[in-house]
Amino acid sequence: MRSLFRCGILVLIIVSFVAIAGTAWTAGIRDTRHNLSSTAPTAPITRNIYSTNVDEICVFCHTPHSALKDGSNKTPLWNHTLSTQVYSLPTGATWPNLITTVKQPDLGSKLCLSCHDGTVAIGSLANLPGPGSTGSVFMVGVSGSGAMPPTAYGYIGINLSGTHPISVPVNNTLITAKNTACTPGSGKYSIVYPPSDPRVKLKPTNNTYNDGSNGFLKTTPAGVNYFEGVQCASCHDPHNNNTDFLVIPGIGTGPPSKYHGTTNWSNWSALCTACHSGPC
Ligand code: HEC
Ligand code: HEC
Ligand code: HEC
Ligand code: HEC
């Protein structure tokens, strides 16, 4: 069964790449800061971190051949060297109503953190463009080690304690616990499942809830089955051109906050209420 799942995933991903490469996605991502290539985005987008000699866009994250594995085969043909960092995680100290014991990031969120935790060189790829090339792409705007510098707007770093919980599974056990705690007047929030806006998606996680249970099992006709949870890509799509790559654009003008999720709730309300209902 497992290898069948894997085969299905690979086929789906390859088909998606063939279908999507060179079309709207390229156009969308080209005019963003995720265009790390030597071809500049159209004004007014400005970049600080980019290559001066590699003109391909997808290659900084994806490769059609010899993709990196994170032990799950759920990574989309990944090309960027993964981080081995152990992170500080959200706890009850910063999140008084948090019920889940948050575990280390896994799967999709590790892909984002491979650049955004600032420990891996942005140009460190499994496969360089061109046949058989190895090494690192030279990038401007990076730290001495080639990584995202702490001064960069996009820097998340290795302390995730103030960031919205990620790699947390969503299942009935959690939802029941949230609903039980969400008594009238408590001011707490319950969890909405499935997310009430289709732009917000639960993503694969293999992390388990406090009692050892997995997230809801998501099955698809293509046989791409996984356990559902919250990952970076539940709120962000790294290929779109909304501000901050959000899946639902913000409605407010508040300043960006490193503690995304703790402040400015009203600015991102449509995003938040896709998964949270309340306050009770
Ligand atoms: C800055 C990194 C980055 C770049 C550049 C990038 N991607 Fe992705 N891509 C990702 C990540 C991360 C995911 C996995 C998202 C998730 O967790 O669901 C992904 C997933 C995908 C998927 C799987 C379907 C999906 O939405 O999850 C496809 C197909 C894809 N990318 C195509 C492309 C193409 C084509 C390009 C070039 C035009 C490109 N990507 C450029 C980071 C990137
Ligand atoms: C290959 C490296 C790489 C990967 C992988 C990557 N990013 Fe980025 N990202 C960058 C760089 C470089 C910037 C620009 C940072 C800056 O200039 O401050 C950036 C900027 C951003 C920004 C700020 C937008 C802006 O306009 O400045 C967000 C939000 C973001 N990334 C989210 C994500 C998420 C979520 C993922 C995974 C789904 C991801 N990134 C994966 C390299 C990457
Ligand atoms: C629950 C939704 C949610 C999740 C999950 C989430 N983000 Fe964000 N993120 C936001 C919102 C909303 C903003 C814009 C407002 C702000 O900056 O607080 C943002 C802003 C950002 C920015 C811009 C700079 C900054 O710090 O504001 C980066 C980079 C970023 N996110 C990366 C990530 C990465 C990497 C992950 C996974 C480790 C992640 N996000 C998980 C909602 C989320
Ligand atoms: C994809 C679904 C999803 C989205 C979107 C989302 N959250 Fe969450 N959020 C969760 C889950 C699941 C938990 C873990 C709940 C727990 O264990 O108590 C959580 C936990 C929290 C917590 C700590 C626990 C609590 O109930 O107070 C806060 C605060 C929070 N989210 C705020 C936000 C804000 C603000 C936004 C919008 C920027 C947002 N969330 C968007 C799913 C989501």
Taking the model in full, what pTM does it have?
0.93
Alpha-carbon dihedral 28, 30, 31, 36, rounded to 10 degrees: 140
Q: Which ligand is nearest to the CA of 173?
A: 4
State residue 253's pLDDT score: 55
State residue 27's pLDDT score: 62
Residues 6+ apart with CB under 8 A from 98: 90, 91, 92, 165
Rounded Cα distance between 168 and 116, Å, is 19
Rounded Cα distance between 59 and 35, Å, is 10
Cis ω before 279 (30° cut-off from 0): yes
**What distance in angstroms lies between residue 121's CA and the mean position of ligand 2's atoms?**
13
> Per-residue confidence of the chain (280 residues) as pLDDT tens digits?
343 333 333 334 443 444 444 444 556 899 999 999 999 998 888 999 999 999 999 999 998 877 776 555 566 799 999 999 999 999 988 888 999 999 999 999 999 999 999 999 999 999 898 776 777 999 999 999 999 999 999 999 999 998 889 999 999 999 999 999 999 999 899 999 999 999 999 999 999 999 999 999 999 887 789 999 999 999 999 999 998 899 998 765 554 444 454 555 556 678 888 999 988 8
Please state whether 238 falls in left (phi above 0), alpha (psi between -120 and 50) or beta: alpha
C-beta of 113 in contact with ligand 3 (< 6 A): yes
C-alpha pair distances (Å), 232 with each of 52, 120, 200: 28, 18, 11
CB contact burial 53-71 (16+ within 10 A = b; e otherwise): ebebbbbbbbbeeebbebe
Taken in order 37, 38, 40, 46, the sign of the CA dihedral is: positive
State residue 16's pLDDT score: 45
Task: Report residue 239 as tokens.
Answer: 């290929």
Q: Which residues have any ligand 4 atom within 6 Å of their CB?
A: 95, 97-100, 164-165, 168, 170, 174, 178, 188-189, 191, 195, 200, 202, 230, 234-235, 261, 265, 268, 271-272, 274-276
CB contact burial 253-277 (16+ within 10 A = b; e otherwise): eeeeeeebbeebeebbebbbbbbbb
Task: Report residue 159 as tokens.
Answer: 């302390």
Backbone angles phi, psi at 174, to 5 degrees: -65, -45
State residue 9's pLDDT score: 39
**What distance in angstroms lies between residue 165's CA and the mean position of ligand 4's atoms?**
7
Rounded Cα distance between 68 and 112, Å, is 14
Please state whether 107 falls in left (phi above 0), alpha (psi between -120 and 50) or beta: left
Which numbered atom of ligand 3 lies nearest the CA of 231?
A: 5
To test the ligand 3 pocket, which listed residue (236, 242, 266) has its Cβ within 8 A of the most ligand atoms?
236
